[in-house]
Structure 1
């Protein structure tokens, strides 16, 4: 047998390479699966809500539901501001077949220009407001036309039954029922409530699905409030103030009637008046209650503060005398009294009675000093805010750097020039004189009837030496009996008050106006069953006149209305 020789070829195993390929393929497969899973999680979990919401939004339309705004009542239960039923009207332009006729129908029912409505109905959208808060009668008239593509949402609108009367006090709201000015703004959080949400289901082209409208979030109505205003007294005060401004040919006027024992404001106004039902038709700035929001130089009504400071300090009495020359030099200026006179010696009572600038200045300089006067001005609250619940209260101002005041400023401050305050701050101060030296915070809000809450307000003892009050009241009574304020006298009643004739800065020239003044009178009824205080001021009066007659009439009306009596 022949022997064969065999060549052995080395054997190479394929198990390792196949395994590697399988691992790579498996890894790629798992990676792809994980990517798909991640994408799925991203789309369903992370982006899902967003996509769902977008899909829902394409099928639904959300519209706010206005809550019923709280009613404002006067102190006697009369409705001053309330919300009544109204209708908000909107359209889906994509459904409107005849734009021209639809626009004409809308204009006929709601008023306005048909062309403007046509422009709205031509818009490339599925929602456009035609009229928000339309009157119900107008809305029903349009609804009776049966126009496809026009829809209606129950709403409310704000109404003010007394029109301009107390308009500045109340303020007004915008189309979203948000307070813009006055008490509507100050107490907006109480009055406004919380809007709800109405969801409208839509089909193709944005067409609402019949029966697909539902309330997603119900509106929460606002709370009612009762305020201190007596609307009938307010009406009289406004009428008499406007007449007074016209009679003495002034630019504008301010008045306030307050119960000094509580700080409740019974009536308050400034001209020109404001109609919250038609704010766009009212004069610019008339919505601001300038009796509160605008400071002024008070003039001679401020002499009471200077005299009260001296009486409290015990450095003068009504019989204290001072030599008052006809003219008083101060720096490069010369001070005179309003009425021409010669040199004379005056009692403190006569200084107030005849409203002497020079007498007041020299009494302060010789018996009290200007730093103690400044301190009393601060303690009387005549250069700060009263804390009234009304937006935009102005603060008075007087530089605290008494030691750097020039002499003319020192003298001027004693009789109410070179210092700013507000009519309300003056009324608060005078009110304290018939409230045993206690000043009450002027305010409007009395109660929140739905929750049974009655409001309490801060008081402050601003006259520390109350023994000084009677002499001061006696001096102010002399002003009305024999002095510059005789026009304020009321038969059968004691009236104590002070006239004011103040210079004002002419905006055009930047210096004090010539032959034109800001006139005022502020007075009280001493020892009365209701301690009323009333301020009346008229600005930019072309000649030296007075506002005492207006004060007299307003206070006489109040005496009758509130059956005020005085003790003997």
Structure 2
């Protein structure tokens, strides 16, 4: 029967295929569409999920790979504090090995405000030891969102030890150094000073800061989430590199004598200020340089306007007055226009461009030799003698002697004077410049020129640095021969000796020694006019025919009524004679 049903079924499909087949076919078609729709929806869902996953993965890669170092640094920064550490600054020695500037042990005190439990009480205790106002310390100890604040930088070790004994919460200590100047104000303007960070501010501390300073280091202090330092969390990330020592040409003993003599000498003539400098013409080494008022680099609170920190013999320009007559006379001698005993008629007054030129002291008309003109410091005589030479040749010699150029000294802020171009000279300009008015220089420029007269016509670059002992480096300095006619050197020297033996510089005489030099009583220009009855006094000289080539300049400024400072030169050079065992040849 089963077979028969099967046959009927088969026959039935054949005889009724018009109705049955379509139903069966339609049902199969509808099922396929449903499956297709489901598959599409699943694919879309998967694609969306895949896109979302890619975004998350991309973001994860971005955060953990690309930005990881940045966020790591931010996290590190949020839980660390960096502290700069100072290197030990190099020592400055004088020419004989005496310490002029050194770094001594100090302690820097700092606080972590997160750990401070009694800001008011701690502030009071700090003020009692460190000085200052308790309110200022309290403000530091209560700072928000900060775990490091300086309380006292570079405190004396003994003072810091007293603070340590208090065992204050949140107060910590770092070993440090600070600058100290054993001789105080002696040589202070030359040596200079540094700021709280140990950076050179003035003088040789500034000039050689790159040599002396070394390289700072860095400490890293790690702290936990609550801001408290992690035990053992202070580590040195970068070690400080100490600076180099230097030896300079200053002789601290001569320096002290120069300061004493200058102070007394300026007081004696009622001057407002003054300066002095001593240089070895053969080497260019500066043995001493001082300016009034003096200052102590250990106590910067005494500085008023900053000028106290300068060695004004190097930085301050002035109209030199009669010491410049040596320049004019040397030019005349080099060119053979006149000899020391040649005469010229010198009226009491001469005129040029509606101006009158006369000597500082009244006299009548007279005839003078060139030697007498220099002895008596005659403005009229040197003007007429230079007119015979020619103003152009005077200008050329001033340039040849480098009196219009920086000396190149290794000291910050060297002054540069002024010399009008030759084409701008009127007749009165030539006269004025011949006796040192209408031209400006520094005392060091004049010392360098006078030095050439005792060094066979050769100028040496003035300097302080002698040696860097750690590197065994000895710097070399330029020299220049500025005198063409060497025969003029002993002649001008002889004339300068006469100035001291019988002229205006008799106060510079030193028993048993030949002294050559020139005095000056220069008017002071202010806003285009010269002050009345107030002068700058100076003397520049040396000891010819001796075992020394030291040249000394002494100046007193703003002196009422005039005067003479040649005796200050004598006082300084007599000390030098004894100290350096200077012998006449």
Regarding TM over 0.5, the answer is: yes
The aligned counterpart of 1:213 is 234
Whether 1:393 and 2:414 are equivalent positions in the alignment is: yes
1:351-390 CA deviation, whole Å, 9 max, x = no partner? 1111111111111112x21111111111111111100000
Whether 1:357 and 2:370 are equivalent positions in the alignment is: no
The aligned counterpart of 2:79 is 59
How many angstroms apart in 2 are the aligned matches of 1:404 and 1:90?
A: 63
Q: 1:26 to 1:566 in 2, by over 3 A?
A: farther
Secondary structure of the corresponding residue to residue 505 of structure 1: strand
The aligned counterpart of 1:109 is 129
1:445 to 465, 476, 492: 465
Q: How many correspondences in the alignment?
A: 563
How many angstroms apart in 2 are the aligned matches of 1:332 and 1:32?
A: 99
The aligned counterpart of 1:546 is 564
The aligned counterpart of 1:375 is 396
Could you tell me how far 1:138 is from its partner in structure 2?
A: 0.4
What TM-score does the superposition give when structure 2 sets the normalisation length?
Answer: 0.93
The aligned counterpart of 1:338 is 360
Secondary structure of the corresponding residue to residue 525 of structure 2: coil
Whether 1:426 and 2:446 are equivalent positions in the alignment is: yes
Could you tell me how far 1:126 is from its partner in structure 2?
A: 2.1
1:235-284 CA deviation, whole Å, 9 max, x = no partner? 01001101111110011101001111001010101111121111122332
How many angstroms apart in 1 are the aligned matches of 2:568 and 2:285?
A: 21
The aligned counterpart of 1:195 is 216
Could you tell me how far 1:87 is from its partner in structure 2?
A: 0.4
Whether 1:560 and 2:575 are equivalent positions in the alignment is: no
Instruction: Decide whether the 8 Å contact of 2:325 with 2:434 is kept in 1.
Output: yes
Could you tell me how far 1:405 is from its partner in structure 2?
A: 1.6
Q: Of the two, which has the highest radius of gyration?
A: 2
1:44 to 58, 61, 64: 64
Q: 1:374 to 1:38 in 2, by over 3 A?
A: farther
1:294-319 CA deviation, whole Å, 9 max, x = no partner? 11100000011111111111222112
The aligned counterpart of 1:240 is 261
> Alignment RMSD, CA only?
1.7
Q: 1:270 to 1:32 in 2, by over 3 A?
A: same
Q: How does 1:16-55 map to 2 (within 5 A)?
A: 24-25=44-45, 27-55=47-75
The aligned counterpart of 2:109 is 89
Could you tell me how far 1:18 is from its partner in structure 2?
A: 6.8
How many angstroms apart in 2 are the aligned matches of 1:223 and 1:514?
A: 51
Secondary structure of the corresponding residue to residue 232 of structure 2: strand
1:137 to 158, 170, 173: 158
Structure 1 unaligned regions, length at least 5: none
How many angstroms apart in 1 are the aligned matches of 2:75 and 2:205?
A: 40
Whether 1:523 and 2:541 are equivalent positions in the alignment is: yes
Q: 1:534 to 1:11 in 2, by over 3 A?
A: same
The aligned counterpart of 2:9 is none
Instruction: Decide whether the 8 Å contact of 2:346 with 2:368 is kept in 1.
Output: yes
The aligned counterpart of 1:264 is 285
How many angstroms apart in 2 are the aligned matches of 1:162 and 1:522?
A: 27
Q: 1:43 to 1:224 in 2, by over 3 A?
A: same
1:526-556 CA deviation, whole Å, 9 max, x = no partner? 1221211000001110012011010110011
1:139-180 CA deviation, whole Å, 9 max, x = no partner? 000100111110001000000000000111111111110001
Instruction: Decide whether the 8 Å contact of 2:81 with 2:147 is kept in 1.
Output: no
Instruction: Decide whether the 8 Å contact of 1:126 with 1:205 is kept in 2.
Output: no
Instruction: Decide whether the 8 Å contact of 2:110 with 2:152 is kept in 1.
Output: yes
How many angstroms apart in 1 are the aligned matches of 2:453 and 2:17?
A: 144
Whichever structure has more helix as a proportion of its residues is: 2
Instruction: Decide whether the 8 Å contact of 1:272 with 1:283 is kept in 2.
Output: no
How many angstroms apart in 2 are the aligned matches of 1:322 and 1:202?
A: 89
The aligned counterpart of 1:311 is 333
Structure 2 unaligned regions, length at least 5: 1-11
Quick check: 252-261 or 314-323, which moved more?
314-323
Secondary structure of the corresponding residue to residue 87 of structure 2: coil
Whether 1:5 and 2:18 are equivalent positions in the alignment is: yes
Secondary structure of the corresponding residue to residue 398 of structure 1: coil
Secondary structure of the corresponding residue to residue 533 of structure 1: strand
The aligned counterpart of 1:291 is 313
How many angstroms apart in 2 are the aligned matches of 1:37 and 1:467?
A: 94
Quick check: 350-359 or 111-120, which moved more?
111-120
1:89-138 CA deviation, whole Å, 9 max, x = no partner? 01122222222221121112212222221222222232221100000000
Could you tell me how far 1:20 is from its partner in structure 2?
A: 6.1
1:16-66 CA deviation, whole Å, 9 max, x = no partner? 777766665555444333322332232123321121112112222110111
How many angstroms apart in 2 are the aligned matches of 1:440 and 1:17?
A: 102
Secondary structure of the corresponding residue to residue 513 of structure 1: strand
Instruction: Decide whether the 8 Å contact of 1:384 with 1:397 is kept in 2.
Output: no
1:504 to 516, 524, 531: 524
Q: 1:341 to 1:209 in 2, by over 3 A?
A: same
1:405-436 CA deviation, whole Å, 9 max, x = no partner? 22211110111101110000000100110000
Task: Give every structure 1 segment of 4 or more consecutive aligned residues whose post-TM-superposition deviation is greater than 4 Å.
Answer: 1-4, 7-27
How many angstroms apart in 1 are the aligned matches of 2:580 and 2:331?
A: 32
